[in-house]
């Protein structure tokens, strides 16, 4: 048996196995694959965002109107709303809860109208989450709790008609 070739697993093999180039290549391949999988997984778990720029709204003196409905989200959401007015009039932005994930759209719409009526009458709505200060370029930042439907309402507290424009709504969770 002296002429037998040395093979892995041969009981007469006295030399330890040395790594081959193929094994090193596979190790690098596995490392890159694991890195790519990790990056892909973290990319899927990044922050969710809602961005919208609703159309401009014309508001008469002491009038309130909804700008956008924010549908129920699975987690608490940080909401930022900005706008400008032309001509410059003091406008207040409101974030109002109008329903939850299981409520009927007709009920939510009625709750929105009730909130607008309260605002027009000079009262804060019962389901108010947050309101901004009256300004010609109002800005609102609030946290909207999960699984609820919200509406962003703009109210003109000035004495003349104004257009609310450059509206931006951003939500992150």
pLDDT at 54: 87
pTM: 0.73
- Model confidence at 173, pLDDT cuts 50, 70, 90, reads confident
Q: How do the domains of the chain map onto residue ranges?
A: 16-46, 49-172
pLDDT at 48: 72
- With beta carbons less than 8 A apart as the criterion, state whether 140 and 130 touch: yes
In Å, how far are 44, 89, 163 from 125, measured between CA atoms? Answer: 38, 22, 23
Least confident interval from 28-42, 60-74, 90-104, 145-159: 28-42
Instruction: Output the CATH code of domain 49-172.
Output: 2.60.120.380
**Tens digit of pLDDT for each residue in 46-66?**
567 788 888 899 999 999 999
Q: Are strands 77-86 and 128-131 parallel, antiparallel or unpaired?
A: unpaired
- Higher pLDDT residue, 59 or 13? 59
pLDDT reading at 5 higher than 70:
no
Closest residue by Cα to residue 155 from 45, 67, 34: 67
- Model confidence at 30, pLDDT cuts 50, 70, 90, reads confident
pLDDT reading at 125 higher than 80:
yes
């Amino acid at each position: 048996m002296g002429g037998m070739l040395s093979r892995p697993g041969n009981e007469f093999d006295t030399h330890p196995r040395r790594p081959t180039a193929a094994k090193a290549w596979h190790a690098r391949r596995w490392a890159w694959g694991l890195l790519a999988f990790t990056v892909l997984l973290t990319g899927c778990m990044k922050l969710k965002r809602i961005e919208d720029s609703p159309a401009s709204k014309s508001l008469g003196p002491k009038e309130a109107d909804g700008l956008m409905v924010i549908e129920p989200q699975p987690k608490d959401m940080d909401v930022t709303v900005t706008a400008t007015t032309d001509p410059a009039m003091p406008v207040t932005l409101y974030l109002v809860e109008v329903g939850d994930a299981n409520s009927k759209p007709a009920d939510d719409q009625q709750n929105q109208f009730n909130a607008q009526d309260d605002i027009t009458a000079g009262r804060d709505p019962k389901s108010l989450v947050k309101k901004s200060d009256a300004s010609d370029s109002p800005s609102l930042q609030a946290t909207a709790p999960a699984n609820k439907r919200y509406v962003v309402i703009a109210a003109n507290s000035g004495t003349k008609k104004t257009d609310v424009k450059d509206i931006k709504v951003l939500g992150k969770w």
